[in-house]
Amino acid sequence: MKALLKTLSEAYGPSGAEDQVREVVRAEVRKLADYVTVDPLGNLIAVVKQQSKTGKKIMLAAHMDEIGFAVTHVDAAGFARVLPSGGVNPLASVGQRVRFANGRLGVVGLDARRDDLGKPPTLSEMFIDLGASSRAANPVQVGDVAGFWRPLEDLGGRLIGKSLDDRVGVAILIETLRALKRTPHEVAFVFTVQEEIGLRGAGVAAFGLDADLGLALDVTRTGDTPNGPKMETALGAGPAIKVRDARMLTDPRIKELLLARAREAKIPTQLEVLEGGTTDAAAMQLARGGLPVGCVSVPARYIHTPSEMVDYGDVQQCVALLLAVLHKPIEL
């Protein structure tokens, strides 16, 4: 699974440009599901057909896209000005390497200052330097999107990489699909697009699938760093079962289902209340006439930076929890 995480983390796929990472996912799942489709927005959906008349139709979602920088202007000297694609943190961006769809690398630079040198940077002051000496020599154009570039690093129990939000969720769904030998349910494994710019893919997919219940797989913040947010979640304490976030209230029946299956399987869990931010579950919940949803989160440090950190044990336990949910009948 670490090899899969490395491939997914290092793949290129900012919001709206998920083609390359989608092909990585397609290659992994095409022989595991009963059928695989791509909808008009670009969501990849791998379906395991229903195996019991009493089974539910379940939607599992993890987003393929990552945050990035969209080029708005290339000046005469070849420097590309950008705007954010998703929740880019300017403080974590200066000096970082980025990569475009064509493979070209650049570095995020900051306008020189003559006063107030300690002021936090803003995106309007930033540019991407691709090593070009003129506009004509610049290998990108207006509208091209760059994502952070960093290789995944394995620290043993912990992994550090770019776009683990939410390639770690993508890996969990792939591994769950690979390990799912039996289920009474019809399960749609949905690898969504454009989450970082408004949960767009999940809403479209949930409307089309019209499932009985849904679960999102994503990352969440932790409270285990010095002077960190006042949260109960921590690396190494198991999957986090979301209670609520800024845009979604977990259906109490889904929360209790997850907790009960975790207890039965002796999987450690923690409860998550996230003050800011949300996941695909928020869009799924509002599709059609409404969908009972929940979210299983992987605790992660340094979210929306090029060096997001997760605990490998938590990742494995998330797979175990999903299998525990899918192996048995579900009554809501």
Say whether 150 sits in a helix, a strand or coil.
Answer: coil
DSSP 105: E
The alpha carbon torsion through 220, 247, 293, 273 (nearest 10 deg) reads: 40
CA–CA distance, 77 with 127 (Å, rounded to integer) = 12
What is the reported pLDDT for 106? 97
Can you tell me the mean pLDDT for 207-217? 97
Q: What rounded mean pLDDT belongs to the chain?
A: 96
The confidence score (pLDDT) of residue 226 equals 94
* Distant-in-sequence, close-in-space partners of 307: CB < 8 Å, separation ≥ 6: 150, 160, 161, 162
Residues 57 and 90 in one domain: no
106 and 225 share one domain: no
User: Does 331 map to a domain?
Assistant: no
Give the tens place of pLDDT for each residue, 181-199: 899 999 999 999 999 999 9
**Domain annotation covers residue 58:** yes
The torsion angles phi and psi of 73, rounded to 5 degrees, stand at: -165, 140
Q: What is the largest CA-CA distance in the chain?
A: 71
Residue 47 resides in a domain: yes
- Alpha-carbon dihedral angle through residues 67, 283, 191, 97, given to the nearest 10 degrees: 0
Task: Assign 255 to helix, strand or coil.
Answer: helix
**Torsions phi, psi for 96 (to 5 deg):** -85, 150
| Contact predicate 8/26, CB 8 Å | no
Kindly state the tokens that stand for 274: 């996230």
Supply 153's token pair: 């690093």
Between β-strands 240-244 and 213-220, what pairing exists: parallel, antiparallel or unpaired? unpaired
Our count of domains for the chain comes to: 2
Report pLDDT digits (tens) over 150-171.
999 999 899 999 999 999 999 9
144 shares its domain with 23: no
Helix (H) or strand (E) holding 230: none
Name the domain boundary from 148, 176, 202.
Answer: 148
Domain identity same for 127 and 247: no
Check whether residue 131 and residue 277 sit in a common domain. Answer: no
Q: What per-residue confidence (pLDDT) applies to 119?
A: 85
Query: 34 lies in a domain?
Result: yes
Res 118 pLDDT > 90: no
What is the reported pLDDT for 114?
75
Pick from 207, 175, 168: nearest CA to 189: 175
d(C-alpha 77, C-alpha 4), whole Å:
40
The beta-strand segments (E) located in the chain are: 35-38, 44-48, 57-63, 68-74, 80-85, 97-100, 105-110, 126-129, 145-148, 153-154, 158-161, 186-192, 213-220, 240-244, 270-273, 293-301, 308-311
- Within a domain: residue 272? yes
Class of residue 299 by CB neighbours under 10 A (exposed 0-12, middle 13-18, buried 19+): buried
| Residue 88: domain span | 68-148
Query: What letter would DSSP give residue 14?
Result: B
- Specify whether the backbone of 252 is left (phi greater than 0), alpha (psi in -120 to 50) or beta: alpha
Q: What's at 173, amino acid-wise?
A: L
Domain shared by 253 and 110, yes or no:
no
Asked, for residue 99, whether it belongs to a domain, the answer is: yes
Residue 195 among the catalytic residues? yes
User: pLDDT-based confidence at 229, cuts 50/70/90?
Assistant: confident
Residues forming a β-bridge with 241: 271, 296
| Band of residue 104 on the pLDDT scale cut at 50, 70, 90 | very high
**Residue 264 in domain:** yes
Instruction: Examine the domain organization and report whether 51 and 196 are in the same domain.
Output: yes
Q: Are residues 72 and 50 in the same domain?
A: no
User: Residue 332 — pLDDT band, cuts 50, 70, 90?
Assistant: confident
Q: For residues 171 and 166, give the distance between their C-alpha atoms in angstroms, rounded to a whole number.
A: 9
The model's pLDDT over 125-149, given as tens digits with 9 standing for 90+, comes to: 999 999 999 999 999 999 999 999 9
| pLDDT (0 to 100) of residue 116 | 75
Residue where one domain finishes, among candidates 125, 148, 171 = 148
Co-location of 89 and 126 in the same domain: yes
Residues 181, 239, single domain; the answer is yes
pLDDT at 53: 85
pLDDT at residue 112 in the model: 87
pLDDT in the model for residue 52: 84
Provide the percentage of residues in the chain whose pLDDT is more than 90: 93
Helix (H) or strand (E) holding 108: strand 105-110
Task: Kindly tell me if the per-residue pLDDT of 117 is higher than 80.
Answer: no
Question: Does any domain span residue 154?
Answer: no
Model confidence pLDDT, tens digit, residues 68-88: 999 999 999 999 999 999 999
Phi, psi for 123 (deg, rounded to 5): -65, -30
Give the CATH number, domain containing residue 139.
2.40.30.40
| Residue-level pLDDT at 54 | 86
* Nearest by Cα to 261 from 331, 187, 180, 321: 321
Given 66, 195, 272, 308, the catalytic residue: 195
Query: Which of 82, 113, 110 lies closest to 95, judged by CA?
Result: 110
Domain boundary among 106, 124, 148: 148
What CATH number should be reported for the domain holding residue 46?
3.40.630.10
Handedness of CA 279, 146, 303, 3 (dihedral sign): positive
* Residues 175 and 311 grouped into a single domain: yes
302-326 pLDDT per residue, tens: 999 999 999 999 999 999 999 999 9
Task: Please tell me whether residues 58 and 180 are part of one structural domain.
Answer: yes
pLDDT at 283 over 90: yes
Q: How far is CA 36 from CA 12, 72, 74, 133, 190, in A?
A: 21, 36, 40, 45, 10
pTM (2 d.p.): 0.96
The pLDDT of residue 323: 98
Amino acid 190: pLDDT: 98
pLDDT of residue 3: 96
